[in-house]
Structure 1
Amino acid sequence: MKIDIGIPEKQRVKVAEGLSHLLADSYTLYLKTHKFHWNVTGPMFQTLHLMFETQYTELSTAVDLIAERIRALGSFAPGSYAEFGKLSSIKEAEGVPKAEDMIRQLVEGQEAVVRTARKIFPVAEKAGDEATADLLTQRIQLHEKTAWMLRSLLEK
């Protein structure tokens, strides 16, 4: 059935393409954060284990919201490791880094998601897609706050 939500198809496709990159970044960050939750060691174990759990749980919800927005725009959401690997700007973690390196990598990942979300914003605004703009605003706010909290752990 034809979609008639007040956004032309070409613009919906462009927004969905941008959201696919955001979905890939968010899912890759989810996997990295979950891996670090499982494998963190050291004197900050309890703090980081719980913090990482909170973060990957939030990301789990976020990927669903992003994928559902892609679907509402009439496109299919990517959902395989191969697709995410092509679309994501975040590199997978190799091995098990030390706790401080985990924190650094997660700061970089949170900031990467923010940059990706910001790239989509003008496309969504041009399309008059307030729902996507709202989703992007919420994602940017959350990832900036999370990056700040993680960076705070690295201060001496």
Structure 2
Amino acid sequence: MAIDIGIAKKDREAVAKHLSKLLADTYSLYLKTHNFHWNVTGPQFNSLHGMFEVQYNALWLAADEVAERIRILDVFAPGSYSQFGKLTSIKEEAGVPEWKDMVAQLVEGHEIAAATARDTIKGAEAAGDEGTADMVTGRLKDHEKTAWMLRSLLK
């Protein structure tokens, strides 16, 4: 059955490209946060271990929401490491940095995801896709808040 939600196919595909980048950033940030949860050490272990767990669980749910929005637009969502690697702007961490560097990397990651979200909102608004713009506005606010909370640990 053909989709008819009031957004032209080319516009849905353009919005889905933006969302695919946001999904890749979200999933990459999820992986990095989960990695840091497992491997954090130092005097902040207890608080960071718990904080990272809350954050990676939120990112996991967010990735699902973004992927489902792509499907709502009748486009297939990327779902492999190689696809995410090509789409994301989040730098991979191959080692185990000190806790302060972990926090700094997550601040940077959330700021990158916030910038991707802003770009996605602009693309959604240009396509008349209020549903995507609304959903991604929530994602933007979450990334900004998380970046602020993490940044506060470094002062």
Q: Structure 2 length normalisation: TM-score?
A: 0.99
In the alignment, the residues of structure 2 paired with residue 138 and residue 120 of structure 1 have an alpha-carbon distance, to the nearest angstrom, of 12
Find the counterpart in structure 1 of residue 111 from structure 2. Answer: 111
Shift of 1:2: 1.1
Paired residue secondary structure (1:76): coil
Asked if 1:20 corresponds to 2:16, the answer is no
Residues 52-87 of structure 1, C-alpha deviation per residue, up to 9 Å, x if partnerless? 000000000000000000000010000000000000
Shift of 1:94: 1.9
Find the counterpart in structure 2 of residue 100 from structure 1. Answer: 100
Shift of 1:91: 1.1
Find the counterpart in structure 1 of residue 128 from structure 2. Answer: 128
Find the counterpart in structure 2 of residue 151 from structure 1. Answer: 151
- Letter in structure 2 aligned against 1:107: V
In the alignment, the residues of structure 2 paired with residue 3 and residue 126 of structure 1 have an alpha-carbon distance, to the nearest angstrom, of 20
In the alignment, the residues of structure 2 paired with residue 35 and residue 111 of structure 1 have an alpha-carbon distance, to the nearest angstrom, of 19
Count of matched residue pairs: 155
Paired residue secondary structure (1:96): coil
Structure 2, unaligned stretches of length 5 or more? none
**Cα root mean square deviation, aligned:** 0.5
Q: Structure 1 length normalisation: TM-score?
A: 0.98
Shift of 1:126: 1.5
Shift of 1:43: 0.3
In the alignment, the residues of structure 1 paired with residue 123 and residue 59 of structure 2 have an alpha-carbon distance, to the nearest angstrom, of 23
In the alignment, the residues of structure 2 paired with residue 127 and residue 112 of structure 1 have an alpha-carbon distance, to the nearest angstrom, of 23
Find the counterpart in structure 2 of residue 58 from structure 1. Answer: 58
In the alignment, the residues of structure 2 paired with residue 9 and residue 37 of structure 1 have an alpha-carbon distance, to the nearest angstrom, of 41
Shifted more, 53-62 versus 125-134: the winner is: 125-134
The 5-angstrom pairing of residues 24-63 of structure 1 reads 24-63=24-63
The 5-angstrom pairing of residues 62-101 of structure 1 reads 62-101=62-101
Shifted more, 75-84 versus 115-124: the winner is: 115-124
- Letter in structure 1 aligned against 2:29: L
- Letter in structure 2 aligned against 1:101: D
Shift of 1:132: 0.3
Shifted more, 12-21 versus 119-128: the winner is: 119-128
Shift of 1:127: 1.4
- Letter in structure 2 aligned against 1:58: A
Shift of 1:121: 1.3
